[in-house]
Amino acid sequence: MKIILGKVRPSSRPHTEAHPQVLIIPQLAQSPTGIDTSGGALFSGIRISSIDAAATAEFLTAIGFVELLPPTPVSVAGSQLAPGATGEPVECVVARFALPEDADRFTVSVVQHPATSSDDPVPWGGNQQGLYRCALRVESVKKALAAVPDWIEQCGEPVWCPLPGTKIDGLYIAFLRSPDGVVFEFVERPLKVFST
């Protein structure tokens, strides 16, 4: 699987580090695994604020992520969570994940801030603030959905998206909803077609 991040909208709420649906902050960092970075820094991950890190961890592992760090209490400086926040430490729950084909080259860090426990998940539909969508490449949407537990919320049946003028006629996309309300997509992109 590969991650494709979608639209990220700016914040209009005052305490962005405490509200997961408001702000996602991609962080650029060099990979610690010895990958040649002489050409510049690599985009090696994203941090997602979460209402419930344990529920998000269960969701991510159910759809194919590998847990690198289970949900763990960590003291985090507020300034690490959002631009302009104070440097005061906050006790958060942090977890880290990766996709098997990416190893640790690209990771997803989930951070649960103590002020998010009363927040509601983002409702279905577009035009919400925060992470708009997260797409995962799969070999087969049908097989990927068959491997997902029944408790994962799906939005209807997979849809066919025509792609005229490309290597394929189109692809199937299935939509899933995380416990935080973020839409995750399974996008059918067979490696045999796209690796050449």
User: Is there a single domain that holds both residue 47 and residue 73?
Assistant: yes
Q: Which residues pair with 176 in a beta bridge?
A: 154, 184
Tell me the CATH number at 99: 3.10.180
DSSP annotation of 18 reads G
**In this predicted model, what pLDDT tens digit does every residue of 41-56 receive, in sequence order?**
556 778 888 889 999 9
Answer whether residue 78 shows pLDDT above 50.
yes
Instruction: Specify whether 18 is located in the same domain as 93.
Output: yes
- Render the burial of 154-163: b for 16+ CB within 10 Å, e for the rest: eeeebeeeee
Residues 21 and 111 placed together within one structural domain of the fold: yes
The predicted model gives 58-70 an average pLDDT of 95
* Separation between Cα atoms, residue 61 and residue 68, nearest integer Å: 10
Residue 167 confidence (pLDDT): 82
How many domains would you assign to the chain? 2
CATH label of the domain that carries residue 151:
3.30.720
Q: Lowest-pLDDT range, 23-27, 33-37, 73-77, 135-139?
A: 23-27
Which phi-psi region, left, alpha or beta, contains residue 38 (left: φ > 0; alpha: ψ -120 to 50)? Answer: alpha
Decide if 96 is inside a domain: yes
Instruction: Give per-residue pLDDT as tens, 115-150.
Output: 877 777 776 665 555 556 788 889 999 999 999 999
Q: CA end-to-end span of the chain, whole Å? A: 17
Whether 33 and 65 map to the same domain: the answer is yes
Residues 54 and 94 in one domain: yes
Q: Which of 65, 50, 75 is nearest to 179 (CA)?
A: 50
Final residue of a structural domain among 60, 89, 116? 116
Domain carrying residue 181: 133-194
pTM of the full structure:
0.73
In the β-sheet with 25-26, what is the strand arrangement from edge to edge? 25-26, 45-50, 107-112, 89-98, 66-77
**End residue of a domain, out of 61, 90, 116:** 116
Looking at the structure, tell me whether residues 110 and 189 fall in a common domain.
no
Q: How far apart are CA 98 and CA 107, in angstroms?
A: 5
Is there a domain that residue 1 lies in?
no
Count the residues in the chain. 196
pLDDT of residue 71: 97
Task: Say yes or no to pLDDT of 192 above 70.
Answer: yes
Residue 57 covered by a domain: yes
